[in-house]
Amino acid sequence: MKVNATLEIQQRENNGKGAARALRRSALVPAILYGNKQEATKIALPLKELTIEYKKGAFFNKIIDLKMDGKVIHSLPRDIQTHPVTDVIEHADFQRVDKDSIIHVFVPVKVLNQEKSVGLKRGGVLNIVRHEIELLCKPDAIPAAIEVDVLNVDIGRSVHINDITLPEHVKTAIKGRNFTIVTVAGRSKEEEETPAAVAAATAAAAGTAGTAAPGATPAAAGGAASGATPTTGAAAAPAKKK
């Protein structure tokens, strides 16, 4: 079984929010260890070491050895709870596993050959329907990623789970469905026409800017001129008496 990290843990006895806060003040994370037909065990582990492993990525697909009193327990991380503001880890769940355990894992999808794809080079748009795939496998068979090659995927075509060759002893958790993983879609008519429409509107605006309408007087084109004659029908100002 491939082990990705080893963390020192200690068993905890006290329950409640007060006990959990006390652990966090000591830079420890309260956690639960369960599974493999054994009772759940309350544990605590160092915040710093747990955070380092968590931030490496793919944390929930890694086998973590938990070491307590000289005994090593193989486990799979199942949940991490963080503070809503600081993102500091506040709680963790681990599942006991052994080499014969069948476990559920969510493995990320990795898309290959996007820059060479037939459909994408023709102007298609890549749509990743599933960013992760739920798999059933043994702990030593967890794949790092499910690779999806879109090299020969044309516009309007899709890649389904049945098109993927999974590693040995690895199966999908979803049964009886040839679900879609990625598609290459064509651009919509609106998306294609928008750039041309914008260019035409810009050119028209540039050609007509500052041009007066046919038959318009200078006042209409540039505003009322100084000393313009009164509007038709307006009374003339009375003559000044000498």
| Structural domains of the chain, ranges and CATH numbers in brackets | 5-99 (2.40.240.10), 104-189 (2.170.120.20)
Alpha-carbon distances of 109 from 10, 58, 135, 144, 149, rounded to whole Å: 36, 12, 12, 9, 10
6 has pLDDT over 80:
yes
pLDDT tier at 229, thresholds 50, 70, 90:
very low
Q: What is the pLDDT of residues 121-133, one digit of tens each?
A: 999 999 999 999 9
240 has pLDDT over 60:
no
**Cβ neighbours of residue 58 closer than 8 Å, sequence gap 6 or more:** 108, 144
Question: Quick one: which H or E segment has residue 146?
Answer: strand 146-149
- End-to-end CA gap in the chain: 119
Q: What is the pLDDT of residues 184-199, one digit of tens each?
A: 999 765 555 555 555 5
Distance of CA 23 to the CA centre of its chain: 32
- Indicate the burial class of 133 (C-beta count within 10 angstroms; 0-12, 13-18, 19 or more): buried
